[in-house]
């Protein structure tokens, strides 16, 4: 039930939910993975920025996967690199160059997902 509550908070809360979700996504939180998923449902540019900034501190695993999936949901881009460290670098470069690109809500499925090109 908590999973659905966290996801709903992200989708309904938008920008207003980002700060609270980031607290839930802090190291040691039982809701960390769910919070990263929920950040992707906010349709929020601050959420995308926060995820990109958090990526370097994550270990490859479920939290990293949730964060990367959320970036794909928010930006409609994805890294096709295999190595996690290279994915982190690609997202950092993307954010530095593409901060003004649109950010999407999870229901914006008509926009295709494209590869990060660096």
Residue 15: per-residue pLDDT: 93
Over the stretch 18-69, which tens digit does the pLDDT of each residue have? 999 999 999 988 899 999 999 999 999 999 999 999 999 998 899 999 999 9
Residue 41 host element (H or E) = none
User: What's the whole-model pTM score?
Assistant: 0.91
Q: Sketch the domain layout of the chain as residue ranges.
A: 2-115
Residue 77 host element (H or E) = strand 77-78
Residue 106: per-residue pLDDT: 84
| CA atoms within a 13 Å half-sphere pointing along the CA-CB vector of 67 | 27
Over the stretch 71-96, which tens digit does the pLDDT of each residue have? 999 999 999 999 999 999 999 999 99
Q: What is the mean pLDDT of the chain?
A: 92
Residue 118: per-residue pLDDT: 58
Residue 108: per-residue pLDDT: 84
Show the tokens assigned to 66: 């949730």
Distance (Å, rounded) from C-alpha 87 to C-alpha 111? 22
For residue 61, report the phi and psi dihedrals to the nearest 5 degrees.
155, -160
């Amino acid at each position: 039930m908590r999973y659905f509550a966290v996801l709903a908070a992200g989708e309904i809360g938008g920008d207003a939910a980002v700060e609270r979700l980031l607290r839930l996504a802090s190291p040691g939180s039982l809701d960390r993975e769910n919070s990263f998923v929920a950040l992707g449902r906010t349709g929020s540019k601050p959420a995308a920025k926060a995820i990109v900034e958090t990526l370097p501190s994550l270990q490859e695993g479920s939290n990293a996967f949730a964060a990367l999936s959320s970036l794909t949901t928010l930006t409609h881009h994805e890294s096709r690199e295999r190595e996690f460290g290279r994915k982190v670098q690609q997202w950092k470069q993307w954010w530095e160059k593409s901060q003004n690109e649109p950010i999407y809500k999870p229901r914006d499925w008509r926009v295709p997902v494209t590869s990060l090109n660096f």
